[in-house]
Amino acid sequence: MTYFYGRLFAAEPEISAMFPAAMDGQRHRFYQALCRIVVTKDDGLDDYLAELGRAHRKFGVRKEHYAAFRTALLATAYRFSPPEPAARQAETDGAADDEGGEAGSGDSWLTAFDYAAEVMARAADEDAARSPAWWTAEVTAHELRTPRVAVLTMRPDQPFPYLPGQHLSVQTPRWPRLWRRYSIANAPREDGSLTLHVRAVDGGLVSTTLVHHLTPGDTLLLGPAEGRMTADTESGRPVLCLAGGTGLAPLKAIAEAIGRAAGPGNRRDIVLYYGARIEADLYDLPDLRRMELDYPWLEVVPATSDERAAGVAHGAIPVLGAKADWEGRDIYISGPDDMIASAAGALRTLGADPALLHYDLPEDSD
């Protein structure tokens, strides 16, 4: 990937301005995307590609840039994945070369890339017809809940469409071109405001800025909403939510949306397990208790894994989730990636219907 981006930036210096100076995360994400496109070919590939196409609008990617990516990718494929003997002979005969030949091992990469580029470009064009590439938002409130967690509220300058449970990407003026994903912690409001829960990560440039250096009146850039873990307000099933840390944010939005959608006589019970290592890290518990008063169908179960506290369950969220009343429920899981994987795996092992397990595993966070 280092070779790929070197070729790309040397050929098209303008493209380098779209990327941050620190490229480690970007190289990793691009390689993951390539592997999924070339190797996986899963049923959700088109949706994944369309989402990528829409998301890349905020970077300034235009249709004409795909040709430069294609050339650099082919050069990389031939540099690190030598073609078969027949293809090498074709190269000798002039049918291909390091700069753009299409025989041998480069074929599968090119076929996959051309298909991906077509789907992404089409999705970007369709998205451009109905929404901006990014939104400007003013911070209206910033509350430091713990030394490392802040709850911030902002108001976009234009209507921001999203579904409860989705996340968005944020860029701060302090760190141009660095976008980081955060889940929206509320169902849509009449005033259009959005609330995020942000934990400062060690070495995290964006998260540290949002937690420790942001004040009301500051401006942020927002990318479009993404994510497939959204509230199913049409289901009649009761709900189990398993939240770890700031993974509470999307589940809070989902619980709120389900509660709002419920009509007389068809309210759905929701049990929300909210976990942290220690009681002091249950940063949103007072707000959740207020939600319980507003929505009698909601039961909040706080939990800590590293200490015992009065009125708080003891144990890790995957363990508590496996012991909970999960049968016949829609199950939403959010938190650190390893927690999500552990909880989902434990429930599947116990016999939970995979179709009722809802979660996202974001590719990047900060």
Q: What pLDDT, in 10s, does the model give residues 66-99?
A: 888 888 888 888 888 755 544 444 443 443 444 4
| pTM over cut 0.75 | yes
Alpha-carbon span 105 to 85, nearest angstrom: 10
Alpha-carbon span 170 to 182, nearest angstrom: 7
Mean pLDDT of 151-167: 97
At residue 23, the 3 state secondary structure works out as: coil
Please state, in angstroms and as integers, the Cα–Cα distance from residue 40 to each residue in 33, 48, 202, 350, 358, following that order.
10, 12, 33, 27, 21
Q: What pLDDT, in 10s, does the model give residues 99-139?
A: 444 444 556 777 888 888 899 999 889 988 888 989 999 99
Written as one string, the DSSP assignment of 286-339 is HHHHHHHHH-TTEEEEEEESSS--TTSEES-HHHHHHHS--TTSEEEEESSHHH
- Compute the radius of gyration of the chain from its Cα atoms: 23
Alpha-carbon span 268 to 283, nearest angstrom: 26
Relative to beta strand 313-314, strand 330-334 is unpaired
Alpha-carbon span 62 to 15, nearest angstrom: 10
Question: Which domains does the chain possess?
Answer: 2-128 (1.10.490.10), 135-222 (2.40.30.10), 239-358 (3.40.50.80)
Query: Of 183, 207, 204, nearest to 195 (Cα)?
Result: 183
Query: Of 29, 359, 53, nearest to 227 (Cα)?
Result: 359
At residue 200, the 3 state secondary structure works out as: coil
**pLDDT of the residue at 107:** 67
Lowest mean pLDDT among 26-30, 189-193, 328-332: 26-30
